[in-house]
Structure 1
Amino acid sequence: MNIETALKEAMSVEGAIGVSLVDYESGMALGTLGGGPTLDLELASAGNTEVMRSKLRTLSSLAMDDTIEDILITLGKQYHLIRPLTASGGTLFLYLALDRGRSNLALARHSLKRIETALEV
């Protein structure tokens, strides 16, 4: 599946507000869909790049021989999911923002995993 199709699939997740595919080395979004006045996806993508980098540094500092499956940020009204793409050589992640009242977190995580598996970058 290409980037555009992957973003559309992610936006079909119940409660999706916005999604982006981000290169955490450069901080640039390779593609975005959704967002709007309540969510600036370019800014959120860049900010979540720092979250990703920080977690990777922490794992390295702790000498943990493990990988990040996903990172969940829980807000009062939203869930933010960051899913590193292992097949991308380790520099890309999917970022999905969800309306907390309209989404199912377990199904959203499952959907991102499925999208990650099918995505060809």
Structure 2
Amino acid sequence: MTLPGARGAALVEWVSGLALGVIGEAPGGDHEAVAAETAGYARATAEHPVFTADQQGPGLAAEEAVVVTGTGYHLLRFVEAPYEGGVFLYLWLDRAQANLALAMRGMRELADGLVLV
């Protein structure tokens, strides 16, 4: 939450849509609803051949996804988990205040430091 423009963040299990942890605000004010909605987007991204690295079929997609809206950026960073499914970091940024490149770099560093057991 120290990144410029950061409004809220979550760690989400992308198969179930369960928020494992949240901080800050959520678009619309409901972290659980945002977790479920972004998990649907994450699943589509990870499973659709257009977005997979080899474009040969389902598999883990590119490591990051960015959704740009009129007022914000929504960043997803996929993180490998030691169990079935996976998790992703979700970060909501105010577009007027955020530095997208800095935020993506910060998410990579955070993801690299996560220890999931």
Alpha carbons of 1:118 and 1:37: their partners in 2 closer, same or farther (altered >3 Å)?
closer
SS of 2:46's partner is helix
Q: Give the TM-score normalised by structure 2.
A: 0.84
User: Alignment length, in residue pairs?
Assistant: 110
Residue segments in structure 2 that go unaligned for 5+ positions in a row: none
Q: How do residues 1-121 of structure 1 correspond to structure 2 at under 5 angstroms?
A: 11-35=1-25, 38-59=28-49, 62-63=55-56, 67-86=61-80, 88-89=81-82, 91-121=86-116
Q: How many percent identity over aligned positions? A: 34
SS of 1:94's partner is strand
Alpha carbons of 1:20 and 1:66: their partners in 2 closer, same or farther (altered >3 Å)?
closer
- 8 A contact 1:16–1:97 mirrored in 2: yes
2: distance between equivalents of 1:95 and 1:37? 12
SS of 1:56's partner is helix
Q: Give the TM-score normalised by structure 1.
A: 0.81
CA RMSD of aligned residues (A): 2.2
Residue segments in structure 1 that go unaligned for 5+ positions in a row: 1-10
Residue 4 of structure 1 is matched in structure 2 by: none
Please, which moves more after superposition, 38-47 or 76-85? 38-47
- How far off is 1:39 after superposition? 3.9
2: distance between equivalents of 1:83 and 1:40? 20
Higher helix share: 1
Deviation readout 1:6-47 (Å, 9 max, x if unpaired): xxxxx1111101000000111100000011574422211110
